[in-house]
Structure 1
Amino acid sequence: MILQIIDICYMVAVVLFILGIKLMSHPDSARRGNALALSGMLLAIIASFLTPGLNNIALILVAMALGTGGGLYFAKSVQMTAMPQLVSFFNGMGGAAAALIGLVEYGDLPVDEVGKGAVLMASLVIGSISFSGSLVAMGKLQGVIKDININKILAFLVLGLAVALAIYVILSGEPQPVLVYVIVLISLIYGLAFVYPIGGADMPVVISLLNSLTGVTAATTGLLYNNMVMLMGGILVGSAGLLLTLLMAKAMNRSVANILFTSFGGSSAGGSADAGDQIVREINLTDSSILLSYAKRVVVVPGYGLAVAQAQHAVHDLEKALEEKGVEVLYGIHPVAGRMPGHMNVLLAESDVPYDKLIDMDDINEKFPSTDVVMVIGANDVVNPAANDDPSSPIYGMPILEVNRATNVIVIKRSMSSGYAGIENALFFDPKTRMLFGDAKKVLTGLVSEVKSM
């Protein structure tokens, strides 16, 4: 009877996971989706305590308390600019947990259990790769780890060695504890070699893929324990992460293989424009406020610079000030703007920007020709017209926000520095473009005052 209750709880939990993920696909329902998924996880945890013969409950509760406390602290204290790093860190912890479970369970696994041995080795290898790779991705996003060129063939040989040793351990029919630890070490090394060469601009895609791998390890652990909720939850995370990876690669007009096995996006990337041969046109706060106040439609294009300056509240204040003058204000959101999928959506939602003002790339591109002013705040690569106009550019063919089709463009930046992809932005030299240099928060606050005083 107890086992049947546990199975029913697990089934309900899986349904809540599915509904939660579905609701998270739209900003209006994302919070409810998150609450449903959280409810499913709580139900699964409670049901697990009903498992007959469960031991060390006190240690389990202590571990849960430490994990919950740490998670709440980091989630509450982390800056929005560091949210991608936190996601990568949490993802790495999931991979580490799967690898540790594999190490613990190997000692109790009968050597003739080939099927379970294969599942366990998969948890060890994939979990270790996800752990070390996620930590490198976190370091790259934080700016403390630079790109390191590593021979791809050598990296694959390292992975091949880990897989070969895992197969040998499975088929040997004898305990191989030393080799198991060697497999973990080699897998950790491959995780480093896998992520180190990939450019910083591609980290969101890498994090999504690593998240998918962590889901796979959760699923394999579920197979190991014959636990339905771990199996189904892992499958959901793995498939969702893979789909997101493919969608982001499509948004960049690149294949996943191109992202993973080339070094595009590093700081050494060259530019397609020579700043010395171009004219930069500047604008001041007063002229900017006049241009904005007498516009019929203004489109704001946010980027990572907006998050760095923590200017999301200031831009919402400017939005409200312009709307009081009858100006329509919308936000153009690129699928890979920021440092993780949905980064800009979350950032703007934090400042209570209405969800219906956040317009996806395809829809907002249709509105640019009838837009009086586009205000680019901290975005760079996602508005670079070289993606459409310059076949020699590394980003040629990448779908972008076509802001250069608007009547006027104001770009708020600290300097003329290139974006995360390390490519010169031809938009900055467009005759329609005016550069408004300064910290985004200070500039936007100044614009609010100027607009209100007019």
Structure 2
Amino acid sequence: MLAQGFVSAAAIAASVLFVLSLGGLSNQEKAKRAVWYGIVGMAVAVLFTAFGPGIGNYWLMIPMVAIGSVVGWHVAKRVAMTEMPQLVAALHSFVGLAAVFVAWNADLERRRVLAAQAMGATAEQFSAFAALVATKAPDELTFLQLEVVFAIFIGAVTFTGSVIAFGKLAGKVDGKPHKLPGGHLLNAGAAALCLLLAVLYLNGAGFWTLLLLAALSFFIGWHLIMGIGGADMPVVVSMLNSYSGWAAAAIGFTLSNDLLIVTGALVGSSGAILSYIMCKAMNRNFVSVILGGFGGTQGPAAEIEGEQVAIDAAGVASALNNADSVVIVPGYGMAVAQAQNAVSELTRKLRAAGKQVRFAIHPVAGRLPGHMNVLLAEAKVPYDIVLEMDEINDDFPKTDVTIVIGSNDIVNPAAQEDPNSPITGMPVLEVWKSSVVFVCKRGQGTGYSGIENPLFYKENTRMFYGDARESIDSLLSLID
């Protein structure tokens, strides 16, 4: 058993490592080292917490940790990079559900301690957590009850919200927004009932209040995320990341675990900041998004004239061979087709031929922040030719060829041209200003978000239909 001093020192060390990890993830070249900071920090946190004072039941804890480690290793080895967004959403749900169970257990322990104290029991006769509860003053017990209410509410919302986000990202749930009759009033009504139940609980009502509170919160999480469309899923994943952090912090307060409080606050605040940044990048109102898309556009979308004109590999290769400057815009379609290595090889051949090749990355490309950057780094694409939207948008009028691989909303001119479009006002990559645009796409559908794209019908756009990896592979032998 480790002394409390060692545990406190380890908590400080782990907190520093977590801060270094978050800071390093903002830079592609430092990201791998940052991940290791996080891994070591978590290992230190788990080890010193498990062997800290007042901890027991190792006969149960060690097998559970071993099983969880094996399952986590197996999942991490099997999940492809394309499935990372839905894996992140699934992991968020675990944190939320854990918060609910810990909060329920904390209240049951509180009730047991109070009943035992009424019969003359002392703090020395209780388990570690129960003894902690037994030494609390009445106002501290009230604060514990507030922690329980918050943990259940935010944890339950995180759980069901993350499950629905997982379903939408994995294609198991329709990506279009769906609300029950009553829409936002249902969410508001459920939230009001949660507040009423919290007041009843704080005034001595039974455990049933916490069960109903969890049930209503589960509904809010489900209905909230069901009401958000596929175009906003990257923001939703980031937002749920923030929710899971606050749920973890609430557990930390309940368990009097300083490290859990710090870690949850780091995750919660960084997720909230990232969500805000992404909302700015999409010209979305942050409050509107977290309320399930409240305040969306009204009126019919503008009609699109023209037709989609197809082109074959020989035509695309001819344009690339004659081009001096090429911009590649990757999207989720590239991830699904696992075409990043073929794209990297195409980039190498074009650069070897003396052509300027760069990548344009929209802040919300893919279904997770930084998704495209990770895929390109995995395929050994040089960091210095991967540019953000603000760095490259002004260069499209001087670009000979732009290749769009599996992107839709982030290159959709309707964001600027159609005031009734669901993405109106969203900053987009202005690829249509290039001399010619080739769009690698499986078919003529509207894609994940269900929003029609006028880019596909413009005179300087040609549709390069087919699987993205096969399409890019077919170009490699035709590049001079």
Same-fold status (TM-score > 0.5): yes
Specify the alignment match of 1:160 in structure 2. Answer: 192
CA contact (8 A) 2:288 2:295 kept: no
Alpha-carbon separation, structure 2, partners of 1:334 and 1:405: 16
Pick the aligned partner of 2:347 from 305, 310, 319. Answer: 319
Equivalent residue letter for 1:442: E
CA distance in 2, matches of 1:68, 1:285: 46
Q: Determine if contact 1:9/1:47 at 8 Å carries over to the other structure.
A: yes
| Greater Cα offset, 114-123 or 281-290 | 281-290
Distance 2:303 2:316 in 1: 26
Measure, in 2, the Cα distance between the counterparts of 1:360 and 1:270: 32
1:214 aligns with 244
Say whether the 8 Å CA contact 1:17–1:36 is kept in structure 2: yes
Query: 1:171 aligned to 2:203?
Result: yes
Q: Which position in structure 2 is the counterpart of 1:390?
A: 418
Aligned to 2:130: none
Percentage of identical aligned residues: 39
Deviation for aligned residue 1:313:
0.9
Does the 8 Å contact 1:109/1:117 carry over to 2?
no
1:302 counterpart = 2:334: no
User: Structure 1: any 5+ residue segments left out of the alignment?
Assistant: none
1:185 lines up with 2:215 in the alignment? yes
- Partners of 1:179 and 1:264 in 2: CA distance: 29
> Alpha carbons of 1:302 and 1:273: their partners in 2 closer, same or farther (altered >3 Å)?
farther
Q: CA deviation at 1:271?
A: 4.7
Determine which structure has more spread, i.e. the larger CA radius of gyration: 2
How far is the alpha carbon of 1:265 from its aligned partner? 13
* AA aligned opposite 1:250: K
Measured in 2, the distance between the counterparts of 1:249 and 1:428 equals 26
The whole-number CA distance in structure 2 between the counterparts of 1:337 and 1:272 is 24
Q: Secondary structure of 1:40's partner? A: helix
Q: 2:220 is matched by which residue type in structure 1?
A: Y
The correspondence for 1:144, drawn from 172, 179, 183, is 172
Give the superposition deviation at 1:43.
0.8
Show the counterpart of 1:243: 273
Q: Distance in 2 between matches of 1:262 and 1:103?
A: 28
Q: 1:264 to 1:402 in 2, by over 3 A?
A: farther
Is the counterpart of residue 252 in structure 1 residue 253 in structure 2?
Answer: no
With 236-245 and 419-428 compared, the bigger mean Cα shift is at 419-428
**1:30 counterpart letter in structure 2:** A
Give the unaligned 5+ runs of structure 2: 115-137
1:406 is the counterpart of 2:434: yes
Contact 1:332/1:360 (CA < 8 Å) preserved in 2? Answer: yes
SS in structure 2 of the partner of residue 376 of structure 1? strand
Q: Within 5 Å, which residues of 2 pair with 1:305-454? A: 305-451=333-479, 454=480
- The 3-state SS of whatever aligns with 1:375 is strand
Alignment of 1:219-238 (within 5 A): 219-238=249-268
SS state of the match for residue 462, structure 2? strand
Whether the aligned pair in 2 keeps the contact of 1:273 and 1:424 (CA below 8 Å) is: no
State whether residues 311 and 441 of structure 1, in contact with CA within 8 Å, keep that contact through their aligned partners in structure 2: yes
Is the CA contact 1:273–1:426 (under 8 Å) kept in the aligned structure 2? no
Q: Which residue does the alignment assign to 2:146?
A: 118
Judge conservation of contact 2:301–2:418 (CA < 8 Å) in 1.
no
CA distance in 1, matches of 2:210, 2:354: 67
Return the offset for 1:262.
5.2
The alpha-carbon distance between structure 1 residues 270 and 137, as it changes in their structure 2 partners (threshold 3 A), is: farther
2:68 alignment partner AA: G
User: How much does 1:199 deviate?
Assistant: 1.1
Q: Distance in 2 between matches of 1:202 and 1:164?
A: 31
Cα distance in 2, alignment partners of residues 255 and 145 from structure 1: 24
Q: Structure 2: how far apart are the matches of 1:349 and 1:84?
A: 17
Rounded Cα–Cα distance in structure 2 between residues aligned with 1:168 and 1:354: 59
SS at match of 2:53: coil
Equivalent position of 2:16 in the other structure: 15
Hey, what's the Cα distance between the residues in 2 that align with 1:81 and 1:8? 39
CA distance in 2, matches of 1:53, 1:238: 28
2:93 alignment partner in structure 1 = 92
Please state whether the residue corresponding to 1:107 is helix, strand or coil: helix
Corresponding residue of 1:292: 320
How far 1:264 sits from its partner (Å)?
A: 8.6
Question: When the two structures are superposed, what TM-score results if normalisation uses the length of structure 2?
Answer: 0.89
1:121-172 per-residue CA deviation (whole Å, 9 max, x = no partner) reads 1111111110111001111112222343222111221122122212211222
CA displacement at 1:270 relative to structure 2: 6.2
Residues 391 and 188 from structure 1, CA distance in 2 versus in 1: closer, same or farther, beyond 3 angstroms? Answer: closer
Per-residue CA shift, 1:316-365, capped at 9, x if unaligned?
11111111211121110001111111111112122111222211000011
Task: State the 1:272 CA deviation.
Answer: 2.9
C-alpha distance 403-129 of structure 1, shift in aligned 2 (>3 A)? same
Q: Deviations over 1:252-307 (max 9, x none)?
A: 101022223455999xx965333xx3033322211211211222211100111111
Aligned ranges 1:44-83 → 2 under 5 Å: 44-83=45-84
Q: Is residue 297–residue 329 contact of structure 1 (8 Å, CA) maintained in 2?
A: yes
Contact 1:270 1:422 in 2 (8 A): no
- Paired residues in the alignment total 447
1:199-242 deviations in whole A, cap 9, x for unaligned? Answer: 12212212211211111111111112221110110000000110
Gap change, CA 1:261 and 1:97, over 3 Å in 2: closer
8 Å contact kept, 2:21–2:38: yes
